[in-house]
Amino acid sequence: MAAELILDARNATGESPVWVPAEAALYWVDIPARTIWRWESASGAVRSWSLPEMVGCIAHIDGARWLAGLEHSLSIVTLGDDRAARCEPFVSVRHAAAGMRCNDGRCDRDGRFIVGTMALDMAAALPLGTVTAYGRDDGVRLLASGLITPNGLAFSPEGTTMYLSDSHPNVQAIWAFDYDRASGEAKNRRLFVDMKALPGRPDGAAVDAEGCYWICGNDAGLVHRFTPEGRLDRSLAVPVKKPAMCAFGGADLDTLFVTSIRPALPDEALADQPLAGGLFALDPGVRGIAEPRFRP
C-alpha cells in the first residue's frame, strides 16, 4: 500500500504525533510555527492551537490537557474551544546555554516524560543536548548528555529498553539502553544501528507490538523498521524527502502515521515534493502500542 496523504498541512517541522484512542484523533505539533494540530479520523475535521513558544513534543494527560516541551519549560497546555491554548508552566528546563529548546520527547511505560534538548543552531553542531526524565514520584533525572540533536526516543513493549538517536549529520546513530522501570534509570548505552551506512538520518520513532523499532529516515523519504537485534527488516516510502516522526494509530493501532518537514523554500523549489510538510498514513503490516499518558 502506497502512503496515503491525510492532510496537506504544509508544516515547517511536523513532529510528535500522538494518537488518542478515546477521540479517534491524532495530535501533533509544528515546532517553529508554535502550533498543536488535531485531525479527527471519522470526520476528517482539523483544528489547531497557537502556543507562546516553539513546541518540540507533547504527551496527553487527560481530556483537553497536554504536557508540552516548549523552549524553556515543560508546560501543561489546555486546548480551548477556539485557537487559544492556556499554558501553565510545570517545570523549568535547564539548558546548557542560551538558544536551546526541547526537541523529541515522549512518556515511558510508567508515565514519566522523557525529553531531549538541542541548540537551535544545528549548523554549529554543538554537543549540548541532553535527555532528561521528569517523573511524579522520582523527580528529575539526567539520562544522557553530549548530544547534538536528540531524537528517536522510544521504549520496548515491556518498557525495559530505551531507544535514542542523534539525527545530526555528524552522528546519525541509534543507541539502546537498559531501562529500569522502577527507578527511571537508563544504563548500558550501546550502539543499536549506525545509520551512516543506511539511507536517511535517524529522526522520530515508534515501537510496534512485536518489539520492532520504526524510525523516520530524514532526507531519504523512508521509514525503516529494525528488529530488536538491530537488523533492518523493511523500509516504507513516503512521497516527501523529510519524514520526521511516526506513530501508530487507528481503531486497531494498525496505521502508521508520519509527519514531515517542509523546507523554507519557494514552492517551485519543491516541485519534486509538493506535499512536503504533510501528514501521511502507511500500512505497516503490524499493530502498535497505545501511547502512555503523562502523570502530573
Q: What CA–CA distance (Å, rounded) separates 178 from 159?
A: 9
Q: What CA–CA distance (Å, rounded) separates 232 from 205?
A: 14
Nearest to 207 by CA among 138, 292, 134: 292
DSSP code of residue 172:
-
Q: What CA–CA distance (Å, rounded) separates 253 from 281?
A: 12
203 is catalytic: yes
Q: Which of 30, 104, 166, 203 is catalytic?
A: 203
Which cell goes with 258? Answer: 508520519
Please name the residues in contact with 89: beta carbons below 8 A apart, sequence gap of 6 or more: 73, 74, 75
Q: Quickly list DSSP for 78-91.
A: EE-SSSBEEEEEEE
Nearest to 117 by CA among 89, 92, 151, 141: 151
- Only one residue has cell 529548546, namely 101
The catalytic site residues sit at 203
